[in-house]
């Protein structure tokens, strides 16, 4: 396992502590965890979808929470049918907890289950105050072409 030193980032960049923490934690979180398999896809300019294969689980077995830029999906297999006898069991019907770090202003739109797949749709909503704004340029009272200096007033 490789550890990265982000202290140079702290010396020259202000307000990026969260990014450095995300990068640092990314090497530790979910190492070796492969269940359940999932996809993350871009479905539009500001739209995303997480699809998880959750064979054997129903909507009552899944809990999804979104808190402080972290999406947590927990699956609990509550229905254990002891009357079934398997010769081979290749479908994993076990509980899990999977966490996803969400960027600022990303919210969960909806979650659906169909054909053994859990779909979580996400949308990024950038507030108007953070969107690029075109700044109008106005002409000042004084024009340098007329030989006047707008920075100095004439002494009378």
Question: Residue 71 belongs to what domain range?
Answer: 35-128
Q: Are residues 115 and 68 in the same domain?
A: yes
pLDDT in tens, 138-150: 888 765 565 555 5
pTM of the model: 0.65
Burial environment of residue 52 by CB neighbours within 10 A (0 to 12, 13 to 18, 19 or more): buried
Q: Is the separation of the CB atoms in 29 and 95 below 8 Å? A: no
Spell out, as residue ranges, where the chain has pLDDT lower than 50.
Answer: none
| pLDDT digits 0-9 by tens, 86-109 | 898 887 778 899 999 898 889 999
CA 152 to chain centre: 52
Are both 121 and 86 inside the same structural domain? yes
Specify if 19 maps to a domain: yes
User: What pLDDT shows up at residue 2?
Assistant: 61
Identify whether 40 is part of a domain. Answer: yes
- 97/46 same-domain check: yes
Same structural domain, 45 and 81? yes
Do 106 and 66 belong to one domain? yes
Residue 15 within a domain: yes
């Amino acid at each position: 396992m490789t550890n990265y030193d982000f202290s140079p980032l702290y010396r020259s960049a202000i307000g990026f502590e969260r990014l450095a923490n995300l990068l640092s934690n990314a090497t530790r979180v979910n190492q070796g965890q492969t269940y359940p398999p999932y996809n993350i896809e871009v479905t539009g300019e500001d739209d995303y979808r997480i699809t998880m294969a959750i064979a054997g689980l129903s909507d009552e077995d899944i809990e999804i929470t979104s808190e402080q830029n972290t999406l947590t999906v927990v699956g609990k297999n509550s229905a254990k049918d002891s009357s079934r006898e398997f010769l081979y069991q290749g479908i994993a019907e076990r509980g899990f907890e999977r966490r996803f770090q969400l960027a600022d202003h990303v919210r969960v739109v909806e979650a659906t289950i169909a054909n053994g797949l859990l779909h979580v749709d996400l949308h990024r909503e950038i507030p108007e105050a953070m969107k690029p704004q075109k700044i109008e340029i106005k002409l000042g009272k004084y024009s340098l072409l007329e030989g006047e200096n707008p920075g100095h007033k004439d002494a009378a």
